[in-house]
Amino acid sequence: MILSNDFKGQLAIEYIFWLGISFILILNMVNMATDSDELNRAITAARSGAIEGANMNSFAVFPEKSFDEYESNKERINFPSSIRILRIDAINCGFNVSYQKTKIQLIAYVSAPGISQKTYRDSLGSRINYFMRRSISKSFGTENITNSLYNPAFSPKYVFTTADVRWV
């Protein structure tokens, strides 16, 4: 096959063009995978924290101030019960201008057939949410940029808040 002089260098230019586009696409896919990995890591940490918060009830281990309140007002919380974390949903609330990060709201769905009083469920829900946020903060090493309640919790690209626990 004989090439005419009209096509000299065209193959090289097309090759460089396609190579450049391929490089840009690969970088975008790596970036999307990194974002997805960060969000999955945060949700896994939240689930671990929720389980830890729920198990605190089973072990009846509380901070002293909370235990004093539970002992005098909410005795039922001090006895073991079966609390199950059913699922944790993550709702993307969009970009938050205040934090310059994407805001994610986490909602834990919990089952505790033995605990029916609203005040008990509210206390347990607060503890579960606290441990979810704490676990996320510890997972990303961001404890120093949040408050003592870990509200909100941060990762490099996201800010996490928790909604009231949903009792099923």
Query: Residue 136: what pLDDT?
Result: 96
Query: Residue 137: what pLDDT?
Result: 95
Query: Would strands 101-111 and 84-96 be described as parallel, antiparallel, or unpaired?
Result: antiparallel
Kindly state the average pLDDT of the residues 45-51: 93
Kindly state the average pLDDT of the residues 48-54: 89
Query: Residue 19: what pLDDT?
Result: 87
Residue 61 has pLDDT above 60, yes or no: no
Our CA angle for 155, 55, 135, nearest 5°, is 10
Domain chopping of the chain, boundaries: 8-167
